[in-house]
């Protein structure tokens, strides 16, 4: 295909108008032109098997024909209204039916907004201020979320470390940081301060690190014991790990959860869902002006995003979809691991079949510090070689999608073999 501008041209233009030359999301050294199924193509026409898939939302792959049809059917009827619309109501009904904790929900446009409002909602409900989060947990870009996401210095728990400039000291004073997968620590922390804690917020699968057996149930039990709102950040795991999310897969039900990515079918859409008595704080008539949490957004519940989300969930409900997704993920895990094991390169596959990555560590990875201690240089080399040979992925996650074909897997295997061989040469 003839292109008027090369990728280098676009990168140069981006540097002139975008800080650091990018949108702030991903490597600005690549400019994606299009996506189709499990493939993306850059502006120079290079083709890649896509394991980034928009950072997770494209679970069905790019340009799924049924999702496209649903979007095109909605477009002539209106793109946004700042008012209730039928598609948004239908999608809310489906989410409430599927997600164990959900009595009601409210829409937003991004997962980060959902997490921010979820914390505020917990504070409104409990009348308390402290928030417990886990080191390495990602919950968007709010001031609270940017505490100990990826701390460059180690401090003693529960002291928070800000990951961004511009965060007031008062935010740190209201945060307590705990190690993931350490039930004894969370019990001791809450025994001391539980009566002041409004919320525990956790990714039930933290980035790629699975919960240890029983850990999520400990959080549930301790939240009940101390009257704390338990929030599962399911922006990534919702409708990926299982149709009802991680809470359905692991059998532990939070008080609130946040959702995003998959529920919008590739369009900007997110939600907070949870218990009716907590969600009532969005209803001024129900709780009164003093306890009411004001919330609005220009594109919240956008009908185009809702139509895409409805069709995506319809496809996911069909027999065998999650079994197939897990099989595809397991095959990708195996081909990456086999390539590295054949060359005696120490590594671990960390995560779930639906979301995982290769971690270059000899020891078990149970928390953020386990991933941080892994060989980052080797991981960077592996990912760079994968991209050089046609595999596109995030530096820390591999997202399989249902559009993967045998040809995609064969290309991935060839790229993994070449990446492993490059690492072996470096040893």
Asked if the model's pLDDT at residue 1 lies above 90, the reply is no
User: How much is the CA Rg of the chain, to the nearest whole Å?
Assistant: 22
pLDDT digits 0-9 by tens, 201-251: 999 999 999 999 999 999 999 999 999 999 999 999 999 999 999 999 999
Dihedrals phi, psi of 36, to nearest 5 degrees: -150, 115
Model confidence at 427, in pLDDT bands (50, 70, 90)? Answer: confident
Residue 47 covered by a domain: no
Residue 156 covered by a domain: yes
pLDDT over 70, % of the chain: 99
Residue 305 covered by a domain: yes
pTM over 0.85: yes
| Residues of the domain holding 133 | 65-316
Residue 176 covered by a domain: yes
Instruction: Give catalytic residues, as residue numbers.
Output: 138, 233, 261
How many residues are recorded in the chain?
427
In CATH, what number is assigned to the domain containing residue 258? 3.40.640.10
Q: Mean pLDDT in the chain? A: 96
User: In angstroms, what CA-CA distances link 373 with 34, 161, 190?
Assistant: 36, 18, 28
Residue 116 covered by a domain: yes
Return the pLDDT at 5: 86
Q: Rounded to whole angstroms, how far apart are CA atoms 247 and 258?
A: 12
Residue 325 covered by a domain: no
Dihedrals phi, psi of 350, to nearest 5 degrees: -115, 130
Return the pLDDT at 426: 87
Counting the structural domains of the chain, the total is: 1
Residue 411 covered by a domain: no
Return the pLDDT at 3: 66
pLDDT digits 0-9 by tens, 380-393: 999 999 999 999 99
Over residues 270-292, the mean pLDDT reads: 97
Asked if the model's pLDDT at residue 307 lies above 70, the reply is yes
Over residues 146-164, the mean pLDDT reads: 92
Residue 228 covered by a domain: yes
Q: Rounded to whole angstroms, how far apart are CA atoms 384 and 381?
A: 5
Asked if the model's pLDDT at residue 37 lies above 70, the reply is yes
- Which DSSP symbol is given to 62? B
């Amino acid at each position: 295909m003839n292109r008027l501008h090369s990728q280098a041209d676009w990168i140069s233009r981006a540097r002139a108008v975008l800080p650091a030359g990018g949108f702030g999301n991903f490597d600005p050294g690549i400019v994606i032109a299009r996506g189709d199924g499990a493939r993306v193509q850059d502006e120079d026409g290079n083709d890649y098997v896509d394991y980034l898939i928009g950072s997770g939302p494209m679970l069905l792959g790019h340009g799924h024909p049924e999702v496209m049809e649903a979007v095109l059917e909605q477009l002539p009827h209106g793109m946004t209204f700042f008012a209730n619309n039928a598609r948004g109501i239908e999608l809310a009904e489906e989410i409430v039916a599927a997600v164990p904790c959900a009595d009601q929900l409210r829409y937003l446009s991004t997962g980060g907004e959902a997490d921010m409002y979820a914390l505020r909602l917990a504070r409104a409900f409990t009348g308390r201020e402290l928030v417990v989060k886990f080191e390495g947990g990602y919950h968007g870009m709010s001031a609270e979320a940017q505490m100990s996401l990826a701390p460059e210095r180690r401090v003693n728990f529960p002291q928070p470390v800000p990951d961004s400039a511009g965060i007031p000291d008062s935010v740190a004073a209201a945060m307590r940081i705990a190690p993931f997968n350490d039930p004894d620590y969370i019990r001791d922390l809450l025994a001391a301060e539980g009566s002041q804690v409004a919320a525990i917020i956790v990714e039930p699968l933290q980035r790629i690190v699975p919960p240890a057996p029983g850990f999520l149930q400990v959080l549930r039990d301790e939240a009940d014991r101390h009257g704390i709102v338990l929030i599962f950040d399911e922006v990534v795991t919702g409708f990926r790990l299982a149709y009802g999310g991680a809470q359905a897969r692991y059998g532990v039900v939070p008080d609130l959860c946040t959702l995003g990515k998959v529920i919008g079918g590739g369009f900007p859409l997110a939600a907070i869902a949870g218990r009716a008595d907590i969600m009532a704080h969005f209803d001024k008539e129900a709780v009164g002006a003093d306890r009411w949490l004001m919330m609005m957004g220009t594109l919240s519940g956008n009908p185009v995003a809702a139509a895409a989300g409805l069709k995506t969930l319809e496809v996911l409900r069909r027999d065998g979809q999650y079994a197939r997704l897990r099989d595809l993920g397991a095959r990708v895990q195996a081909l990456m691991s086999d390539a590295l094991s054949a060359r005696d390169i120490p590594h671990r596959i960390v995560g779930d079949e639906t979301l995982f990555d290769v971690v270059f560590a000899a020891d078990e990875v149970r928390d953020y510090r386990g991933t941080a201690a892994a060989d980052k240089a080797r991981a960077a080399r592996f990912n760079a070689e994968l991209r050089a040979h046609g595999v596109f992925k995030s530096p820390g996650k591999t997202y399989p999608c249902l559009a993967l074909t045998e040809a995609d897997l064969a290309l991935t295997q060839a790229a993994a073999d070449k990446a492993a061989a490059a690492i072996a040469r470096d040893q």
